[in-house]
Amino acid sequence: MTAGGPGPADDGALGSCRAPRRIYVTDCEGPLTRNDNAQEIAARFIPDGAEFFARLSKYDDFLADVVHKPGYNAGDTLRLLPPFLKAFAVTDRAVEAFSTTGVLVVPGALQALAEIAELLPTYVISTSYTPYLKALCELSGFPFANVRCTELTLDAWTMPEDEAAWLRAEAARVMERSLIEIPDGASSADDLSPADGETVARLDDLFWAQMVGRVSGELVTAVRPVGGGMKLAALEDIVAAARVEGAGVMYVGDSITDAPPLEAVKAWGGVSLSFNGNGYALAAAEFAAASSNAEVQAHLAKTFADGGRDGVEAAIRAWPKPGNCETPAGRARTRVGLVAEESDALAEASAAARRGVRGERVARLG
């Protein structure tokens, strides 16, 4: 890859077909939907599953963002969960049925997605499991062929009952520990509190020692979540196939799993937009929007289709500030800006919108 980002592929078999000048790529959970599907699956099928998932998620943040475990990506919580789903006898059909009935859409998101897809080739890259993305596509009419997500197949594995019983007991032991708190600037387990350091040591032993050689360990290895670096790899594949320059990419994300693609698109000269993003997304993105409605995504995508990154920057700079009584209500309730210039205000607005749209429990996850 060149310093300017991925360039167009050779014309090859496409002959004289002209490639699109710009494309739109978005995360799913956050920009489009209000769920954390994996957390909800855990809550449905595992005792105290929402809190259990939160503990795995904080451990995931530690591995991906603090110690940078080799071969581990942000969002690999979805690798850590399947052994426990199998231990509690969860089937593929159960996950599919649960996911189909539980899609919660961000207000205005389906209309925005349809409008954007009329203007630009549009893709979704999601860490979420396949059944959830298929459910969203059925609801929205969006083509599943334009989705990249995490494959999950529980029925392909047979777990001995003694291993399942052991894992059920381990899940209860995980719940005896409190959530890991990661201090700013932490770079190793030594920077954690003694209690949190012990939690990390126990989870390290569970996942990377005790599970080795068992079905649970094979499951952890087999599931490959599309998060972090894998999201960036998926984005690079899409860009190459779509035959666009890096500056012709608009990417929208909201969490730690979106940080690598957001950073890359910013470096390529495209549009990297945090939508109701947490600290990880805001630190990686050039632009940010905080809103209870996805309409702003469609507005900025239309601007991008017409004027590229510079057009988006101009539109964001001209966006009415909160409190302007002459501004249409929807615009007044949406805060947009350049992260480098309004980091504190955008962080505060994004956190408030994130809690309002996705709820406190989901908003606190990485």
**Is the predicted pLDDT of residue 1 greater than 60, yes or no?**
no
The whole-angstrom distance between residue 36's C-alpha and the CA centroid of its chain comes to 9
Q: Pinpoint the residues of the chain covered by CATH 1.10.3870.10.
A: 37-98+153-222
pLDDT > 60? residue 13: no
Threshold 0.85, pTM exceeds: yes
pLDDT level of residue 291 (50, 70, 90 thresholds): very high
| Cα pseudo-dihedral 265, 271, 274, 275, rounded to 10 | -140
Contact assessment for residue 27 and residue 337, using Cβ atoms and an 8 Å cutoff: no
Per residue in 85-143, pLDDT tens? Answer: 999 999 999 999 999 988 999 999 999 999 999 999 999 999 999 999 999 999 999 99
Q: Convert the pLDDT of each residue in 160-181 to its tens digit.
A: 999 999 999 999 999 999 999 9
| CATH class of domain segment(s) 12-33+105-149+227-363 | alpha beta
Q: Is the pLDDT of residue 46 over 50?
A: yes
**Dist CA 74 CA 68 (whole Å):** 9
Given this model, what pLDDT does residue 358 score? 75
**CATH superfamily placement of domain 37-98+153-222:** AF1437-like domain superfamily (1.10.3870.10)
Does residue 240 have a pLDDT over 70? yes
Q: What is the Rg, in whole angstroms, of the alpha carbon atoms belonging to the chain?
A: 21
| CA-to-CA separations, 165 to 26, 64, 132, in angstroms, rounded | 39, 29, 28
* φ and ψ at residue 29, rounded to 5 degrees: -70, 120
Is 63's pLDDT higher than 70? Answer: yes
Buried b / exposed e along 342-363 (16+ C-beta atoms within 10 A):
eeeebbebbbebbeebbeebbb
Residue 298: which of 332, 257, 252, 256 has the closest Cα? Answer: 252
pLDDT digits (tens, 9 = 90+) for 192-209: 999 999 999 999 999 999
CA-based nearest residue to 135, from 26, 32, 274: 32
d(CA 51, CA 43): 8
All CATH 3.40.50.1000 domain ranges in the chain, comma separated: 12-33+105-149+227-363
How far is the C-alpha of 156 from the C-alpha of 62, rounded, in Å? Answer: 30
